[in-house]
Amino acid sequence: MGKDRRGGIMGLGTVAVTGAAGTIGGAVRAGLRAEAARLILVDRAPLRPEAGNEEVRTADLRDPAAVEAALAGSDRVLHLGGVPDEAPLPELLDANVLGTHHVLEAARRTGIRRVVLAGSNRITGFYPAGHATGPREPVRPDGLYGVSKAAVEALGQLYADKFGLSVLCLRIGSFEPAPTEPRHLATWLSPRDALGYVRAALTAPPVPGFTAVYAVSANTRRFWTLPGPAELDYAPVDDAEEHAASIPGADRAPDPAAPQGGAYARPEFTLPYLRRS
């Protein structure tokens, strides 16, 4: 694998992970530290290092100076931090959009060339389930959270085009230990495949530019296209179909005209978060 620019002998060099205390951060942590010379865990929640090559740095993503200090010395950044579901738009803009802006700006200022962003499948939740959706199609978010992730991708594109960063956005599927509902038969992202996508995104050559891909397992019923080798060199291995027998309703054919977002696309999912004028 060779040495990174700071002399590390591991393939990933020094990797900073924002939102390291979150669900996905916790799931990929062990796999990344096994390959990184140093793993910098960034979160505002308390964390403790679990290995000699782990370092914990406390930072609030809304504080640009704190973010820059937390990412200092990194070769690559995996940005997982932010609000992970539907919320009032001001909260989503504050945590997801401004937080991502601060991460990308810190990368620009400190010379970090590769940034991996946590996007979401919810950015295209209003495409019909019968449509094979690719990442180059116009966004159709199924809620305010999806809107914030569309802005995250726009920022990634901007920093790639204007400042030459290498930015890859993973449109993450339904990350669960195992699928538990019919929609998951299309959208499931297994922990093993999550680590595979993250590893591939971090180790891809840091060529300037922006790429978005769907991070989803090799589900027989999926309605998102898998990335090709030119986009991301990873082929998922798990299939939610292996769990179908244990999922109530899995034997019923889905409505091809129904939104891919399922319940997330219903008005009542977002209405509680809208402020009255």
Active-site annotation, residues:
145
**Residue position matching structure tokens 């140093």:** 38
User: Within its chain, how far is the Cα of 236 from the centroid?
Assistant: 15
Q: In this structure, are strands 54-58 and 166-172 parallel, antiparallel, or unpaired?
A: unpaired
Burial class for 178, CB neighbours closer than 10 Å (0-12, 13-18, 19+)? middle
**Long-range contacts of residues 36-41, Cβ cutoff 8 Å, at least 24 apart:** 36/8, 36/10, 36/12, 37/4, 37/6, 37/8, 37/9, 37/10, 37/12, 37/13, 38/8, 38/13, 38/14, 38/73, 39/14, 39/15, 40/14, 40/15, 40/16, 40/70, 40/71, 40/73, 40/74, 41/17
Please list, residue by residue across 31-42, b when 16 or more beta carbons sit within 10 angstroms of its beta carbon and e when fewer do. Answer: bbbebbbbbbbb
**DSSP secondary structure string for all residues of 74-87:** -SEEEE--S--S--
Give the other-Cβ count within 10 Å of 176's Cβ: 17
DSSP secondary structure letter of residue 178: S
